[in-house]
Copies of this chain bind each other. A is one copy, B any other.
Amino acid sequence: MRVYAKAILPAGFSANAVASGLKKSGKLDLALFYSQVPAKASCKFTTNTILAAPLIVCKEHLQRNKRFRAVIVNSGNANCFTGKTGIADAQETARILAKALKIKKEAALVSSTGVIGKRLPMGIIKKAIPDLVSKLSPAGINKAKLGILTTDNFAKEISLIFKSGNKTVNICGVAKGAGMIAPNMATMLAFVMTDADISQKALDKALGMSVAKSFNCITVDGCMSTNDSVILLANGAAGNSLIDTGKNFKAFVSALEIVCLELAKMIVRDAEGATKFIQIKVEKAKNFQDARKVALSIANSNLFKTAVYGENPNFGRIAASVGASGVKVKEKDLKFKVSPLKKKDIFVGVSLGQGSSSATVFTSDLSPEYIKINAEYN
């Protein structure tokens, strides 16, 4: 297994991005991921009960269709809280794209990130699509990875190449998110592409397992976005023998878990205002859910986060967060371990003394810079 700190598109995929004008800065703001052959898809969306329009349209397409060819992503506008008009705009985006690519509308997925509550400027998008489509290429991933960003300080990208049977398989992921902390730009998006040939059941299972331990184990401010999406496409172009639940599944899941976890960690590292990268490991829990609940309760505690920012070791705040998680614990069973707070990378270990399960959550500290960024943003 080889890990590359760069996005290298798997066989049969191409990508591109253009500066359509959605971002006033003139930066790339409309990205496209494309598979030359029909690909299976597996997706995870936010559990926020207010869903952005593109998520509603994606869910429709995923219900009505089995194979997908393209994902179009705009940054600068979340197309959220935009009512029926917003849904129509997302559908229209898919329709225009599909026409340009000569695919059916339901084979296109849509994704948006940016300001909530403003209508998508459809004229801009319509005008940009021909150029976006005409210059698709494998190297275009280097534009696409930038086109999905908003307040991010760096692109999040990773590729993993491994053997599945006697064939080489590639999983490549790019993501955006300055830690869910940027105000109206609060979205975390990830697009993962693989040339593996894999059954739908195995694909869904692998994504579920990977997201549980990665994107669902990071938090910056506990604020859940309306647009969070992880979209995974598998086009089978590697020519490997179909991965189902057999032995090749393990290798695929291991690789996908690494891709998702590394992208998730990059998002936390880019958290606005953060001065620390914090890993919280809760051990000896009854089950993974309990361990994760306790770790997230600590990670979301403003008192804990400010203590880390102030490099002020404070077991009391950790103990109070453990108790506030709702998981039943006994004071005498708890054990804590905190690495020196002067460093940038902090480790917090908590043992509940109850069982054999563990979970690791990643978060950042809470700094005055966070307040500044989020108070001043317009």
Contacts and interface: CB of A to CB of B under 8 A. Distances in A.
Interface of A: 48-51, 78, 80-81, 83, 115-117, 181, 183-184, 186, 221-226, 300-303, 306-307, 309-310, 312, 314-317, 319-329, 331-332, 366-368, 370-372, 374-378
Contacts of A48: 320, 323-324
A62 B78 CA distance: 54
Contact of A312 (B80, B223, B375): B375
Contacts of A302: 181, 221-223, 302, 366, 370, 374
Nearest to A325: B49
B310 A376 contact: yes
A6 B224 CA distance: 43
A320 B225 contact: yes
B83 A331 contact: yes
Nearest to A183: B303
A289 to B, nearest CB: 16
Contacts of A316: 78, 80-81, 115-117, 183-184
24 contacts: A49-B326, A49-B328, A50-B323, A51-B323, A78-B316, A116-B320, A117-B319, A183-B316, A184-B316, A184-B317, A186-B320, A221-B301, A223-B302, A223-B303, A223-B317, A223-B321, A224-B324, A302-B374, A306-B371, A306-B374, A309-B371, A312-B376, A312-B378, A368-B371
Nearest to A324: B224
Given A49-B326, A50-B329, A374-B303, A320 B221 contact: no
Nearest to A81: B319
B50 A183 contact: no
A307 B183 contact: yes
B315 A81 contact: yes
A302 to B, nearest CB: 4
Nearest to A227: B320
A375 B117 contact: no
Nearest to A378: B312
A50 B375 contact: no
A327 B49 CA distance: 7
A329 B329 CA distance: 34
A83 to B, nearest CB: 6
A3 B249 CA distance: 71
A325 B222 CA distance: 11
A371 to B, nearest CB: 5
Contacts of A331: 50, 81, 83
Given A327-B49, A329-B50, A332-B83, A315 B375 contact: no
A367 B312 CA distance: 19
Nearest to A226: B320
Contacts of A83: 331-332
Given A184-B314, A306-B371, A309-B371, A226 B319 contact: yes
Contacts of A374: 302-303, 306-307, 310
Contacts of A301: 221-223
Nearest to A365: B375
Given A186-B317, A302-B374, 13 more contacts: A49-B323, A49-B325, A49-B326, A80-B319, A116-B320, A117-B315, A117-B319, A183-B306, A184-B316, A221-B301, A223-B324, A310-B374, A370-B371
